[in-house]
């Protein structure tokens, strides 16, 4: 961790994606520090909407630092143009610092990173892939409750990372000196297959949770048939057809470099969530 990281930056921060897994935690972190924060979401005042650039000026007024989480993913069609337009608006409003949440192993996301890196602003990139919280706050929570995780995942290992760690890295990058120009690839402390994940969830919940591999096309068709938004179906297709191919099957030290501590292990995450009763099987 950079020795200069103890110097705080006192300025208002805009958190784009403030209602998401990472953004909501960053908002909480900033408020706990007593720092001014503006939520960037369609339900906020002023509202932030990626589809309405005309409203961005009001969101950026008086802002010194911005956290960017693009929905559904920086690899999505149109993301590069949106990021370029947002960075231009941020410069025009006097924003000084940008932290962007990016996708590990995603060339399209890294193209968006380059826009931020070439902006002339202070920047930090936080790259992550599969979140622990996908099993408790995302698309797979009902599978866990039902006792069987059905995904087209095979036996490829993934260094699942906890969203609390991602948010903590982003928070220090937004508020402390010493993180400008850094790319933090963040992972958990070990590689896990989905069989390993099922075993950890079984141990934490005290009941049998298994993993069953299903064909990719059947999975994507099932997501679409469930009535999920088109962007969700696209994201699931992209994650399982492109990203989960072994390209991210290695550990990194992003959490350690940014925070000076080890990342949370999946077993600790699973034990904490299980204690809340969230994964109890439906009666």
* 11-24 residue pLDDT tens: 599 999 999 999 99
Q: Is 103 left (phi over 0), alpha (psi -120 to 50) or beta?
A: beta
The string of pLDDT tens digits covering residues 247-282 is 999 999 999 999 999 999 999 999 999 999 999 986
Provide the pLDDT for residue 9. 44
Q: What is the mean pLDDT of residues 211-238?
A: 89
- pTM of the full structure: 0.94
Q: Is 242 left (phi over 0), alpha (psi -120 to 50) or beta?
A: alpha
The string of pLDDT tens digits covering residues 213-226 is 999 999 989 888 88
Provide the pLDDT for residue 11. 56
Rounded Cα distance between 251 and 232, Å, is 27
Rounded Cα distance between 63 and 97, Å, is 9
Provide the pLDDT for residue 7. 41
Rounded Cα distance between 27 and 22, Å, is 9
The string of pLDDT tens digits covering residues 182-202 is 999 999 999 999 999 999 999
Residues whose CB is less than 8 angstroms from the CB of residue 118 and which lie 6 or more positions away in sequence, other chains included:
none
Say if CB 203 and CB 59 are below 8 A apart.
no
Residue 8 banded pLDDT, cuts 50, 70, 90: very low
Strands (E), 71-116: 97-103
Count the helices and strands in the chain (H runs, E runs).
Answer: 11, 8
The answer to whether residue 6 scores a pLDDT higher than 60 is no
Higher local confidence (pLDDT), 3 or 181: 181
The CATH number for 3-129+163-187+250-264, chosen from 3.30.70.1450, 3.40.109.10, 3.40.50.720, 1.10.3720.10, is 3.40.50.720
The string of pLDDT tens digits covering residues 130-179 is 999 999 998 899 999 999 999 999 899 999 999 999 999 999 999 999 99
Q: What is the dihedral of CA 30, 31, 32, 34, to 10 degrees?
A: 90
> Domain locations in the chain?
3-129+163-187+250-264
Provide the pLDDT for residue 156. 94
CA distances to 91, 98, 153, 171, 175 from 8, rounded to whole Å, are: 22, 15, 42, 11, 6
Q: What is the dihedral of CA 57, 63, 66, 71, to 10 degrees?
A: -30
DSSP letter assigned to residue 28 = H
Collapsed DSSP state (helix, strand, coil) of residue 202:
helix
Provide the pLDDT for residue 229. 83
Structure tokens that stand for 281 in this block = 């099987």
Provide the pLDDT for residue 195. 98
Rounded Cα distance between 187 and 264, Å, is 9
Provide the pLDDT for residue 203. 98
Which helix (H) or strand (E) segment holds residue 127: the answer is strand 122-128
Partnered with residue 28 across adjacent β-strands are: none
Say if CB 41 and CB 19 are below 8 A apart.
yes
Higher local confidence (pLDDT), 4 or 51: 51
The string of pLDDT tens digits covering residues 79-130 is 999 999 999 999 999 999 999 999 999 999 999 999 999 999 999 999 999 9
């Amino acid at each position: 961790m950079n020795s200069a990281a103890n110097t705080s930056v006192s300025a208002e921060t805009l958190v784009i994606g403030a209602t998401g897994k990472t953004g909501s935690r960053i908002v909480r972190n900033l408020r706990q520090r007593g720092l001014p924060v503006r939520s960037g979401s369609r339900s906020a005042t002023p509202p932030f909407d990626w589809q309405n650039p005309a409203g961005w000026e009001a969101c950026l007024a008086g802002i010194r630092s911005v956290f960017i989480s693009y929905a559904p993913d920086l690899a999505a069609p149109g993301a590069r143009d949106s990021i370029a337009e947002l960075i231009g608006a941020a410069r025009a409003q006097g924003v000084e610092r940008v932290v962007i949440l990016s996708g590990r192993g995603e060339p399209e996301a890294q193209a968006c990173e380059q826009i931020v890196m070439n902006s002339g602003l202070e920047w930090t990139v936080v790259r992550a892939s599969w979140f622990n919280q996908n099993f408790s706050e995302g698309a797979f929570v009902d599978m866990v409750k039902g006792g069987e995780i059905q995904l087209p995942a095979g036996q490829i290992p993934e260094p699942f990372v906890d969203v609390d760690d991602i948010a903590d890295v982003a928070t220090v990058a937004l508020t402390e000196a010493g993180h400008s120009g850094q790319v933090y690839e963040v992972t958990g402390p070990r590689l896990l297959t989905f069989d390993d994940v099922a075993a950890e969830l079984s141990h934490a919940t005290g009941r049998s949770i298994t993993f069953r591999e299903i064909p990719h096309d059947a999975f994507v068709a099932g997501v679409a048939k469930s009535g999920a938004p088109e962007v969700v179906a696209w994201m699931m297709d992209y994650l399982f057809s492109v990203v989960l191919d072994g390209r991210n099957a290695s550990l990194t030290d992003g959490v350690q470099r940014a925070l000076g501590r080890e990342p949370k292990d999946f077993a600790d995450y699973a034990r904490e969530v299980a204690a809340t009763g969230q994964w109890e099987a439906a009666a």
